[in-house]
Amino acid sequence: MNTLRMIHQVVAHPYEFYHDIQGRQRIAWFQGILIILLTFAAKMISILITGYAFQTREPHEISMFHEFIWLIVPWLTWCVSNWGVSTILDGEGKFKEIFVGSAFALAPYMLLIIPVTLLTLVLSLDEASTFNLLQKFVLVWVAWLFLLKVKILHDFEVRKVIFITLISMIGIGIIWFVGILLFGISNQFVSFIVDLLKEMRLRA
């Protein structure tokens, strides 16, 4: 499937989109990666063009690396957690479909966040509620696409979609906890090896 056509379809006809991406040879890994990179680019541009009155951070406080991590880690851990939970609970979605489908759920954000942010150049702080409302609208749209993806790819009923989503979010917390724990242990192990080598060098 053509990536541009898929973007149009997930925005205009999301039900058909999530039905269409099921099955072999219909989607490719790179399409999901491309959407994530475009979403990151849109996020960075929106941060840079935000009107002065609406800026909440100083320029030196903005880090491309941190912004990328805050996008990629929640999204990727969602894919892993949702695939793991749904596989245990008889979901029909494949990891590739979840990976690409979750990336395309970000399409409304990718398309709209820059036009919405441009409003900060013409709005005053008294009119900030308009900007905030539009931002929330985009985020709710994205959240709805995530739920729709779970429903259609795994062929779940609404009640089970909510249950699977909650369990998947708990799974994200567990993955983050284990990741932080492993990072801490590996850090201590590396420090131990470095100290050991220093000690051996001093005694040699």
Q: Domain limits of the chain?
A: 3-203
- Residue 80, CA distances (Å) to 4, 9, 18, 157 in order: 26, 25, 18, 21
pLDDT at 201: 82
| Tokens coding 29 | 């890994």
Contact, 85 vs 163, CB < 8 A?
no
User: CA triplet 162, 34, 92: central angle to 5 degrees?
Assistant: 35
pLDDT at 24: 63
Residue ranges for the chain with pLDDT beneath 50: none
Contact, 10 vs 78, CB < 8 A?
no
pLDDT at 52: 83
Q: What is the value of pTM for the model shown?
A: 0.84
C-beta atoms surrounding 174 within 10 Å: 12
Distance between CA atoms of 68 and 168, rounded to whole angstroms?
22
